[in-house]
Amino acid sequence: MIMKTVEVSGNSLKEAVNNACKSLDATEEEVDIKIIDEGSKGFFGIFGSKNAVVNATLKPKHYERKILDFLNTISENFGSEVVFEVSMRNRTFHVTINGDNISRLIGRHGKTVAALEHILNIYANRLTDVKVNVKVDIGGYKDDRKEIIEHIAHKAAKNSLSNNEKIVLEPMFSYERRIVHEVITKYKNLKSYSIGLEPYRKVVIDIVNKKYDKPKRNHNSRSQFQKSEKMNYNRNKD
Amino acid sequence: MKDTLIYILKGIVKDPDEISVVEYDENKNKIFEIKASEEDVGQIIGKDGRTIKSINILLNALAGSSKENFILKVIR
């Protein structure tokens, strides 16, 4: 990952490092320092003195601290105690949140987590020059949810096979529907697709009937449907 | 809550110094009028209003049990 780097000079090596930290808004621990020129005091500090020059590069630690600060400041008004953890792997910041009363931070159907994630994404991308991602997980909510969805999908798939009929699931979010689709691909005799408009779009699990299945035509009609659906969706937005 | 709002906004815009927020009550709702530089208005609102909606959801979650609603208005 390409981190922000600055070249800074100062009267002494120490001053150059200090200046670098100041311009990056970081502590000394959060930057990698590469010395370009050690500088020299010259003769009695008057003649031939040369400024020290360093290259300072931000470490991931700096961004992690910045995001942590941001979260801690926001949650000052929250009331109960919340603990944040931030770690960076590749270009993704993983934020985990734990504490009392965190169900309020999850929100209905994970609405608040999604909102927080969106804002953190913008904040993190303001800090860095390259595109980064932020993933937020509160109290293992996402893992729990994934397990539940997988369970529902397997159960529905088995029902569909044993009764030889198609099954329409309850409305789900897009990432939840994706989990269902992934599960269904493991069943050779089943196919899945989504119908309806957001936020009530739902997954249909159906038996694959080779005789009547025309994948090409299905595909076309689906993409067309999605287009008109998108237009409707925009119109219906509040 | 106003301070939190300002802090969030300053974190996501290009010109943090241009941000100002006016707070007032109207029909039991708390209204925040956000002023930002022309460039940042789009950033604050986001695609299909996603960002401003997210901020609103977050504020309501942080405020918790107090049942007042926040309304955010972005003006230039």
Question: Is A53's pLDDT higher than 70?
Answer: yes
DSSP for A8-51, written as a single string? EEESSHHHHHHHHHHHHT--GGGEEEEEEE--B--BTTTBS-B-
Chain-chain contact of B58 with A78 (C-beta, under 8 angstroms) = no
Q: What is the pLDDT of residue A183?
A: 92
Q: What is the pLDDT of residue A44?
A: 60
Q: What is the pLDDT of residue A211?
A: 58
DSSP for A83-146, written as a single string? EEEEEEETTEEEEEEEETTTHHHH-GGGHHHHHHHHHHHHHHHHH-SS--EEEEEETTHHHHHH
Handedness of CA A165, A168, A174, A176 (dihedral sign): negative
In a domain, B60, yes or no: yes
Pick from B4, B11, B51: CB nearest A77: B4
Strands of the sheet with A82-89, listed across from one edge: A82-89, A92-99, A133-138
In a domain, B52, yes or no: yes
As for how many domains chain B has, the answer is 1
Chain-chain contact of B55 with A234 (C-beta, under 8 angstroms) = no
Residues of chain B with pLDDT under 50: none
In a domain, B17, yes or no: no
Question: Is A148's pLDDT higher than 90?
Answer: yes
Which of the pair, A211 or A114, is modelled with greater confidence?
A114
As for how many domains chain A has, the answer is 3
CATH number, position B44: 3.30.300.20
Q: DSSP state, B46?
A: -
Do A158 and A229 lie in one domain? The reply is yes
Question: Is A227's pLDDT higher than 80?
Answer: no
Question: Is A197's pLDDT higher than 60?
Answer: yes
B64–chain A Cβ distance below 8 A for any pair: yes
Pick from B14, B55, B64: CB nearest A119: B55
Do A162 and A208 lie in one domain? The reply is yes
The domain in which residue B35 lies consists of 2-12+22-75
Give tens-digit pLDDT for A70-107: 998 888 878 788 889 898 888 889 999 888 888 888 88
Q: Of A139, A163, A198, which residue is a domain's last?
A: A139
What residues of A are in contact with residue B5 (Cβ under 8 Å)?
Answer: none
Q: Closest chain B residue to A236 measured between Cα atoms? A: B48
Chain-chain contact of B61 with A104 (C-beta, under 8 angstroms) = yes
A→B contacts (Cβ < 8 Å), by residue, are 70, 73-79, 104-105, 107, 111-112, 114-116, 118-119, 122-123, 126, 234, 237
The distance of B32 to chain A (nearest Cα, Å) reads 17
What distances in angstroms separate CA A105 from CA A57, A108, A147, A160, B10, one per listed residue?
35, 9, 20, 36, 21
CATH number, position A132: 3.30.300.20
In a domain, B30, yes or no: yes
Q: DSSP state, B17?
A: G
Q: Which residue in the block uniquely carries the two structure tokens 């237009």?
A: A231
What residues of B are in contact with residue A73 (Cβ under 8 Å)?
Answer: 4, 7
What residues of B are in contact with residue A78 (Cβ under 8 Å)?
Answer: 62, 64
Do A21 and A93 lie in one domain? The reply is no
Q: What is the mean pLDDT of residues A18-45?
A: 79
Q: What is the pLDDT of residue A2?
A: 57
Question: Is A216's pLDDT higher than 80?
Answer: no
In a domain, B63, yes or no: yes
Which of the pair, A237 or A133, is modelled with greater confidence?
A133
Question: Is A238's pLDDT higher than 50?
Answer: no
Do A43 and A15 lie in one domain? The reply is yes
Question: Is A237's pLDDT higher than 50?
Answer: no
B53–chain A Cβ distance below 8 A for any pair: yes
The model's confidence at residue A157, banded by pLDDT at 50, 70 and 90, is very high
Q: Exposed, middle or buried: residue A79 (CB in 10 Å: 0-12, 13-18, 19+)?
A: middle
In a domain, B42, yes or no: yes
CATH number, position A154: 3.30.1370.50
Q: What span, in angstroms and rounded, lies between the C-alpha atoms of B26 and A205?
A: 49
Q: Of A91, A123, A139, which residue is a domain's last?
A: A139
Q: What is the pLDDT of residue A156?
A: 92
Do A120 and A166 lie in one domain? The reply is no
Specify the 3-state DSSP secondary structure of A211: coil
Strands of the sheet with A202-207, listed across from one edge: A167-171, A202-207, A190-195
Question: Is A220's pLDDT higher than 60?
Answer: no
Do A92 and A126 lie in one domain? The reply is yes
Do A206 and A224 lie in one domain? The reply is yes
Do A153 and A206 lie in one domain? The reply is yes
The model's confidence at residue A214, banded by pLDDT at 50, 70 and 90, is low
Q: What is the pLDDT of residue A212?
A: 55
Question: Is A29's pLDDT higher than 70?
Answer: yes
Q: What is the pLDDT of residue A13?
A: 81
In a domain, B32, yes or no: yes
The distance of B74 to chain A (nearest Cα, Å) reads 16
User: Can you tell me the ipTM of this complex?
Assistant: 0.90
B48–chain A Cβ distance below 8 A for any pair: yes
Which of the pair, A69 or A224, is modelled with greater confidence?
A69
Specify the 3-state DSSP secondary structure of A192: strand
The domain in which residue A154 lies consists of 143-236
